[in-house]
Structure 1
Amino acid sequence: MGLETQGEQGERSPMLLQGLRKQLSEHPLGHVGPGLITGVADDDPSGVVTYTQAGAQYGFNMLWAMPLAFPLMAAMQLICARIGRVTGKGLAANIETAFPPIVLRGVVILLLLANTLNIAADLAAMGEVAELTSGIDRHWMTIGFALGSLLLQVFVPYHRYVVFLKWLTVSLLAYAAVLLTVHVPWRTVALRTLWPELRIDSASAAVIVGVFGTTISPYLFFWQTSEEVEEMGRNPAARPLKDDNVAARGELRRIGWDTWTGMFYSDITAYFVILATAVTLHASGIRSIETAAQAASALRPLAGNLACVLFSVGIVSVGLIGVPVLAGSGAYAMAEAMHWNEGLERTPSAAHGFYGIITISMLAATGIQYSPISPMKALFWSAVINGVVAVPLMIVVLLLAARKSVMGQFTASWPILALGWIAAAVMGAAAVAMLLI
C-alpha cells in the first residue's frame, strides 16, 4: 500500500506527504496514533447508550466491568496493531494467507452487516440529541451527519482527516465534565467498583453482555490493523517491521504506548458514563433508558441544562469518529478480501471498490432510519452478530500473532497472548449468555 509518484494513477505526491508528515509530527496531536482514535470509536453513540443503560439500571454496581475490560480490550487491540505494522498488511489480508477462504468470507460478510446496523443506530442517536439541542428535525440532522461524514471520508485525504478525528477525541471529556455538575459519593463509588452488590439474573447478564460486547468489538480489530498500515504508508521509507529490524524497537514502543493509552482513555470514559448516569438517573429512580435523547433529556432536570448539552455534544462528537471507523473497517476488510486497491489516502478513482463499500454502508444505514426497522432493533442485531463473530475472529487473530510465518521474530509475547485468550474466553461466555437469555 506504498505511495507512488504523483504521475501514477490516484496517488498523492511523496514529497508533499513528507512535508505534511513533518508538519503533523510538530502538531500537538501529531504523535497520537491509531490507538487513540480506535479507543474513542469504541465509545460510539450506541456504546454510550449501552453504558447509560448500565448506569441507570444498576447504578454503581456495574462500574466493576470497565476495570476488568481494560486489559482485555487493550491486549486485543495491541495484537491487531502489531500485526498491521509487522506484516504491512491489514487483518483480512493476513487471515487470507493463513486460513481457508471460507473463514475470511464469513467474517467479512458478518462484519459488513453488523457495521451497517451499528452505523444506523449511531446516526439515529446523533440525530436525536442534535434535535434536542438545536430544535432541527432529527431526520434532517441524521441525513446531514451521514452525508457530511461520507464526503469527508471519500474526498478528504487521510493525513488531513485524521487531524480532525484526533481533535474530536477531546470531546470525550464531556462525560467527565458532567460529573462536575453533580455530587459524587466517591467512597461508595470506590467500594462498589471493587465489591459490587449485584445479583446475576437474566436482566443483569444481558447488561453485562452488552457492556463487554460494545467494548471488545470486531470492527475495531480491522480498523486499527489497517490504520497502522495506513500510517506506515505516509512514510515512503517505511517497511514492514519483519523486514526492518532497525525501526522495530521504536515502532513497537510507539504502538504499545499509543494503544494502552488510547484504550485507557476509552475505558475511563465508559466508566464516567456509567458513573454519571448512576449518580443522576439511577439515584432519581429512573431505571429504563432506551435512547441517547432520552438519557440527555432525563439529565436536564436532574443535573441542569449544561449536563444535558455536554452529554449531547459528546454523543455527536464520538459519532463523528465512530461512524467513519465502522464504515472504514468494513471497507478495508472487503477490499483486502477482494484484492481491491484500498486506503483512505487514495483518491476515489484509484480505489472505487473501497470507497464504494463505504458509500453503500453509509447509505444503507441512513435508509434504515426510514424503514420499519427501529434503530434500537438495529443495535440489538448488531450486538448479536458481533457476539457471533467476535470469538472466532479473536481466536484467528491470536493464532496469527503467535505464528512466526506471519510475524517473523515479532510474535506476540506470552503475557499479551494470555490476556487475549482470557478476552476470548470472556467474550465466548458473553456470547453464550446472550444467546441463552
Structure 2
Amino acid sequence: MLTILQIAATMHKVEDKTKPSQEKLKKQYTKVLPGLRDAIDVSTSIKDDMKISQLRVQGHLMESVMKGDWQEVGAECLSRLPDKTEFERSVFYREICKHDRFRRNHVSAEYILYLIANGNLDEAQDLRRTPLPTFKYLADKFHIELETEWELRRFALSGMLLYLQWLKETDDQTAMENEKDEEDEHPDRDKPSRKADLAMQAICQFVRVTNEPGVWDIFITKLAELYQYLNQPEKAEATYRRYWQLNPQNPNAPKFLYNFLKSSGESDTKLIEVLQDIVTKQPSDSLVVDYIQLLLGSVSQPPESRHSVCLHHLFRLLDYPSSGQELPPWELFVNLLKSVLNSKEESELVSVRECWTERESWWPAQYFSRRNLKTTKSPQLQTLRAISAIYLQGKDCKFAQKVETWLSKGQNHHLQRKLQKAKEMTALSVSK
C-alpha cells in the first residue's frame, strides 16, 4: 500500500507549466492501475467488504486518475486501510505538499483541518508553522487565484488553532476556579494576560480572512466571540455586518447578525431590518415567524398594512410542506385572518383574496384533504388548518366537517367549540 501511496504522490507532481494532456493521463493510469487494483483488493479484503464496494472504489479511483487528481487516489486508498493509519496518512500528505506546487496550500490546509477535527492540535500547529516549498516562477492566473484562496484558508486555520488554545485556557481557568484546594489560594495571575494575547493573535489571523469574500462561517463566529471576550461588542457587530455585506448571497450571514443583535438586546427596528432581508431571500425559513411577531408589535406602520404584509409572508412560508407541519405559523395565520375578517377593510380582504387565488388550486390538496387526517395526528394542528379552511373556503368546506367528526371521536370538545366559533364568521369569508 505504501508503494501505491508513493506512486500517487509522485504522479501528482507536475513537470511543466501546464496540466498533463488526456493522453498522458491515460498512460499514467495504465501504468498505475494494476498496483491500484491490488491495493484495493488487499484493503477491501482486510475490511471484509463486498465486491460492490470494490467496484465503487475502482470507479472512483479511475475518475480521479483521469482528472489527474492523485491526491484523491491516495486518500481513497488510505480510507480503505484499517483504522491505525496516521503514519501513512502523514507521509502521504507531506509528500503531496512537497511535490505539488499548484495545490500545496490546498493539501496543507486540508490536512490541518483533518488534524484539528481529530484532536491532534500539536501536530496541526507544527504543520502550520512548517514553511511550504517555494518556486522561482508562477503559474497561470487560475492557479495563482487558487493558491491565494488556500493561503487564506491557512490563515483561517491558524486562527482556529489559536482560538482552540484560548478556549483551552478558558476551560483550565474555569476548572481552577472551581477547585477549593489550598493550593488555589494564589491563582495564576498571568492566565488572563495569556488568554488576551491568544485572543489578539487569533483575531489577527481571522481578520486577514474575513475581510475577503468567501464562505467563512465557522471562523466568523469565533472572531465575534473573541471580540466579545475583549469587551468590544461594537467590533463584533461590525464584523457580522461586514461579512453580510461581502457575502449577500450567503443565507447564514444575516442570521449571524440577527442572532448577535437579539442576544445583545438591540431594538426591534434593527432586528426587523435584518429579518426583512432573510424572509425576502428565504421565504421558508423559520425566522419568518420571528419577523411577523416583531412586525405586529411595531408602531411604525398602521395595523392594517402590517396585517397585509404579515399574511403575505405567512402564505409564502406555508407554501412549503415542511413549514406546514409546525404550529406557530398556523396560529399566526389563523389569528391574522380573523383580524382581517373582523376589520371589514375591503383593501385587506382584497389582499387576502389575491394570495388565496394563487393557491386555491393546490392548497386544499396539500393541507385540506382527508389524507392529512391520516398523516397528521396533532388535533391542535388539524383544528388550525380546519379554521383556516373555513375562513378561506366557507363553513361548508368538507375538510372542516371531517376534522369536526374526527375531533368528536377523540373527545376534543374545546377544539370543536373553536371550529363552531369560526363557522359563525362565514359571512365574512374571503371567498368570493
How would you bin the TM-score normalised by the shorter chain?
Answer: under 0.3
Does 1 or 2 have the higher relative contact order (CA < 8 Å, sep 6+)? 1
| TM-score for both structures, normalised by structure 1 | 0.22
Give TM-score scaled by structure 2 length: 0.22
Larger Rg: 2
